[in-house]
């Protein structure tokens, strides 16, 4: 497929400009202030699929933000690839840490991306990666090389838990029928060493509220005589890990799938440089669960992290006060065989149990999902590996990721098909952080690699 290279070279500027237009719309699903922008983005995605050559595209309404669905059928007897992606993005804050405004995309060179990277919220997660599929599809239509049927399902609520997508999938299993699901919403090791994500962690996300006195109190008049909810919350959170950084919630590890020594040896073969890792994050040392190395701690082991904590006075100067309430948002990343609803229950019981007299505790679950692992001997995995080998010159390495795309496990349950995670982002692309970016190299390489996946998938399916 030398043609795709030519096509990408010829249309490169347009591909970049189209993505830039998409990135200008602030489709932040978590913040209702942006709801019109999220809806506008759905329309823009719909238009791009129509233009690229879908037979028909529709906006499917849900109880939340809509799902953009499109399809191209060339022959019902041929296999069908279902492409999933998301057009919503994470909130851009803290704004002051961006070197250029998050919704005014700009191309800048970096050490890792000497040919330039597009800086904007959503550039890598996931608008840029999702749009690679639209452009790869455009190429296959234009060159008459689309070897099978395609369905696109692009949602607008991934960053807030895909709650309505779940219902949509459950209600539309026939419409969404496919032979393989293809997603670019993960990363790879480096621009020299591609990798294919073979695992995602599950997730349980909860919010806790600790209440002490019925009103904020003078910290001199009452300090020492009543429970301070912030002190108590801090102590309760600290107790959730022991001195070895194991999680102390009873039953938490009960169903955790332990890897064999062979599997751990295999994992350790993926290139990893501890010094570079520390340098990239400006850390004087690493941290984590005893008995596991960094690459295991962030992929095959479950974790518990506070994502936000607040309460009391945080304004300028000092105010002497004991707050009535303290809050925290906590995420637990889960591994295969841990059920997120069971874990949410275990957390709720334990957190309520350890509350001392003098406070009351409320736990509110937000969202969650199961983890996912996929074998490397499937047709889909092999096709992806053949595609990467051709465009990068080296085979891809299978890697289990620490991130979560909770809907993937549901796809397998409802649609009975495997998901192939062909991610083109890099860890240094700063997804969810200020200055998120996506390499031009990665964007174009993705567009070049995706048609090869289709080609090999269809060949291997014969």
Using CB under 6 A, list all residues that contact ligand BES: 125-126, 158-159, 161, 185-187, 200, 203, 401, 403-406
Q: What is d(CA 373, CA 379) in angstroms, rounded to the nearest whole number?
A: 15
Our CB check for Mn ion shows the closer of 183 and 396 to be 183
Residue 179 binds which entry of Mn ion, ligand BES, none, with Cβ cut-offs from 5 to 8 Å by kind?
none
Tell me the closest approach of the beta carbon of residue 204 to Mn ion, in angstroms: 17
Sequence-distant (6+) residues with CB within 8 A of 455 are 1, 145, 147, 387
3-state secondary structure 342-357: HHHHHHHHHHHHCCCC
Our CB check for ligand BES shows the closer of 306 and 354 to be 306
SS3 222: coil
Binding mask 126-165 for Mn ion (x = CB under 5 A): x---------------------------------------
Tell me the closest approach of the beta carbon of residue 403 to Mn ion, in angstroms: 8
Our CB check for ligand BES shows the closer of 72 and 121 to be 121
Q: What is d(CA 85, CA 156) in angstroms, rounded to the nearest whole number?
A: 9
Tell me the closest approach of the beta carbon of residue 364 to ligand BES, in angstroms: 16
Tell me the closest approach of the beta carbon of residue 55 to ligand BES, in angstroms: 28
| Binding residue (CB under 5 A) for Mn ion from 155, 179, 185, 429 | 185
Residue 157 binds which entry of Mn ion, ligand BES, none, with Cβ cut-offs from 5 to 8 Å by kind?
none
Our CB check for ligand BES shows the closer of 26 and 403 to be 403
Question: What's the helix, strand, coil split of the chain in %, to 5?
Answer: 35, 20, 40
Q: What is d(CA 281, CA 273) in angstroms, rounded to the nearest whole number?
A: 13
* 321 touches 354 (CB < 8 A): no
Residue 325's CB: how many other CB atoms inside 10 A?
20
Query: Which string of DSSP letters, residue by residue, matches 278-295?
Result: HHHHT-SS----TT--HH
* 151 touches 83 (CB < 8 A): yes
Tell me the closest approach of the beta carbon of residue 298 to ligand BES, in angstroms: 10
Residue 293 tokens read as: 């190395």
Residue 302 binds which entry of Mn ion, ligand BES, none, with Cβ cut-offs from 5 to 8 Å by kind?
none
Residue 419 binds which entry of ligand BES, Mn ion, none, with Cβ cut-offs from 5 to 8 Å by kind?
none
Angle between helix 163-171 and 407-415 (nearest 10): 10
Our CB check for ligand BES shows the closer of 71 and 157 to be 157
Our CB check for Mn ion shows the closer of 18 and 125 to be 125
By CB under 5 A, the count of residues binding Mn ion is 3
Q: What is the largest CA-CA distance in the chain?
A: 79
Tell me the closest approach of the beta carbon of residue 332 to Mn ion, in angstroms: 17
Residue 439 binds which entry of ligand BES, Mn ion, none, with Cβ cut-offs from 5 to 8 Å by kind?
none
Our CB check for ligand BES shows the closer of 125 and 179 to be 125
The Cα-based distances of 298 to 148, 303, 351, 404 in angstroms read: 37, 8, 24, 12
Tell me the closest approach of the beta carbon of residue 333 to ligand BES, in angstroms: 8
Question: What size, in residues, is the chain?
Answer: 462
Closest residue to ligand BES, based on beta-carbon distance: 403
| Binding residue (CB under 5 A) for Mn ion from 125, 155, 179, 448 | 125
Identify the CA nearest to 132 among candidates 444, 460, 452: 444
Our CB check for ligand BES shows the closer of 212 and 369 to be 369
Our CB check for ligand BES shows the closer of 303 and 449 to be 303
Give residues in contact with Mn ion (CB under 5 A): 125-126, 185
């Amino acid at each position: 497929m030398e043609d795709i290279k030519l096509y990408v070279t010829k249309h490169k500027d347009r591909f970049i400009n189209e993505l830039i237009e998409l990135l200008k719309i602030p489709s932040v699903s978590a913040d209702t202030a942006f709801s019109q922008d999220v809806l506008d983005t759905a329309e823009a995605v719909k238009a791009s699929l129509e233009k690229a050559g879908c037979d028909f595209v529709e906006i499917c309404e849900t109880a939340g933000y809509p799902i953009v669905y499109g399809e191209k059928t060339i022959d019902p007897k041929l296999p069908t690839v279902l492409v999933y992606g998301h057009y919503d993005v994470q909130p851009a804050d803290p704004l002051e840490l961006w070197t250029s405004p998050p919704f005014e995309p700009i191309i800048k060179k970096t050490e890792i991306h000497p040919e330039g990277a597009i800086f904007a919220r959503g550039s890598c997660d996931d608008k840029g990666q999702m749009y690679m599929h639209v452009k790869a599809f455009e190429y296959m239509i234009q060159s008459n090389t689309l070897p099978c049927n395609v369905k696109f399902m692009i949602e607008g609520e991934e960053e807030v838990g895909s709650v309505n997508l779940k219902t949509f999938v459950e209600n539309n299993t026939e419409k969404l029928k496919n032979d393989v699901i293809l997603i670019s919403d993960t990363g790879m090791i480096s621009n020299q060493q591609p990798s294919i994500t073979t695992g995602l962690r599950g997730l349980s996300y909860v919010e806790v509220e600790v209440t002490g006195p019925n009103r904020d109190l003078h910290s001199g008049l009452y300090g020492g005589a009543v429970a301070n909810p912030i002190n108590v919350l801090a102590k309760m959170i600290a107790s959730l890990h022991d001195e070895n950084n194991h999680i102390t919630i009873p039953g938490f590890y009960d169903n955790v799938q332990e890897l064999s020594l062979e599997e751990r040896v295999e994992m350790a073969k993926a290139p990893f440089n501890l010094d570079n890792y520390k340098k990239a994050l400006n850390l004087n040392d690493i941290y984590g669960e005893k008995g596991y190395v960094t690459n295991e701690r962030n992929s095959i082991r479950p974790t518990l992290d506070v994502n936000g904590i607040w309460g009391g006075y945080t304004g300028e100067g000092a105010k002497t006060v004991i707050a009535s309430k303290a809050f925290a948002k906590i995420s637990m990343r889960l591994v295969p065989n841990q059920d997120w609803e069971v874990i949410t229950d275990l957390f709720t019981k334990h957190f309520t149990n350890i509350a001392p007299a003098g406070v009351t505790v409320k736990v509110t679950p937000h969202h969650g999902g199961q983890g996912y692992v996929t074998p490397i001997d499937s047709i889909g995995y092999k096709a992806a590996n053949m595609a990467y080998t051709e465009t990068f010159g080296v085979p891809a390495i299978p890697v289990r990721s620490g991130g979560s795309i909770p809907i993937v496990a549901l796809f397998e349950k409802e649609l009975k098909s495997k998901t192939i995670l062909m991610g083109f982002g890099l860890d240094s692309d700063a997804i969810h952080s200020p200055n998120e970016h996506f390499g031009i190299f990665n964007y174009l390489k993705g567009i070049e690699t995706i048609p090869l996946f289709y080609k090999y998938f269809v060949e291997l399916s014969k």
